[in-house]
Structure 1
Amino acid sequence: MTADMSDTTQDRDRVDVMAAAPAAYHAMVAFQQAAGGELDARLAELVRVRVSQINGCAFCVDLHTRAAREAGESEQRLHLLAAWRETALFRPAERAALSLAEAVTRLPAAGVPDAVYAEAAAWFDESDLAHLLWTIAAVNVWNRVAVSTRMGLLTQPV
């Protein structure tokens, strides 16, 4: 989901990266769309929400929670996403994707643990695994830009 960014609030002391570097912004939009590939929309949005939670990006949590709802995700699972390891509501493939998303986002010095990668590779074919990794990378970029510029929430209420 790509929002109309004109509906956001932003700290006036920070650069408006969309206006100041529109080519880079449009390239990121295209990258995000290509990154998702044929991934299930609900899974992709769960991953985007979880990564955004870890990175503390309120704008992205809000945006991707809305997109997850639009893709058919349940309120209960969205509410429990931060504690996904503690509930049986998430299927094994989703758990593998969320574990990979957390490992890539927190990226320890030794890299993604082999066991985490192997679990994801057991559930996803090469194409889906590649698109999952690109999706994780893309949302991490968006999070860092939004947090760095103090991008606010979408102004329209839920």
Structure 2
Amino acid sequence: MTISQNTEAAHTHTPRMDLFALAPDVYKAMVALDRAARAGVDPQLAELIKIRASQLNHCAFCLEMHTRDARGLGISEEKIVMLSAWEEASGYFTEKERAVLALTEAVTVLTDGFVPDEVWEQAAKHVEEQELAQIIAQIFVINSWNRIAVTTRKTPTGPR
């Protein structure tokens, strides 16, 4: 399937199921895991992680939610827009944010089957080990939420 076919098909998608109504214990566990993963991570950095992973996973539902949350935390519209091209938009992101975004991409995509040493080392250079553990948790939790939303075709609520 080509990208344009994929995009055309996406416009006709309707939700498949309400997974959380059918598996409420899974929802409760995900919420608890999400809460645990957030501990000790700067809320603005957490939203950048969530937005970038959601962009990579094509999760419109999570993108809508987390861009709204990011705005609510005071992240500028310009920074949110530039997030999809963060590597070229160095003036918008701190070195720590750039290191965490690189780690987010490496963990989310895993194209080579592993997180490259240089990506890990850069993140470890800018983030204390305890916070790094929490950031890794943030990354795998948002990837789990994305996979649930994309698989069940959870739809965004639309413009407000």
Q: Do they superpose with TM above 0.5? A: yes
How far did 1:110 drift? 3.9
Q: Are 2:88 and 1:86 aligned?
A: yes
Query: Structure 1: where are the runs of 5+ without partners?
Result: 1-9
Q: What does residue range 6-155 of structure 1 map to in structure 2 within 5 Å?
A: 11-12=14-15, 14-87=16-89, 88-155=91-158
How far did 1:108 drift? 2.7
Quick one: higher RCO (CA 8 Å, sep 6+), 1 or 2? 1
Q: Measure the CA separation in 2 of the matches of 1:55 and 1:128.
A: 24
TM-score after normalising by structure 1: 0.89
More strand by share: 1
How far did 1:71 drift? 1.0
> What does the per-residue CA deviation read over 1:25-45, in whole Å, with 9 as the maximum and x for residues that have no partner?
011011011101111101000
TM-score after normalising by structure 2: 0.88
How far did 1:60 drift? 0.4
Identity %: 46
Where 1:152 maps in the other structure, the secondary structure is coil
Partner AA of 2:83 in structure 1: L
Where 2:155 maps in the other structure, the secondary structure is strand
Partner AA of 1:130 in structure 2: A
How far did 1:23 drift? 0.6
How many aligned positions are there? 147
Q: Measure the CA separation in 2 of the matches of 1:45 and 1:26.
A: 21
> What does the per-residue CA deviation read over 1:92-112, in whole Å, with 9 as the maximum and x for residues that have no partner?
000000000000001133400
Where 1:151 maps in the other structure, the secondary structure is coil
Runs of 4+ in 1 over 3 A off after TM superposition: none
Query: Structure 2: where are the runs of 5+ without partners?
Result: 1-12
Q: Measure the CA separation in 1 of the matches of 2:18 and 2:113.
A: 35
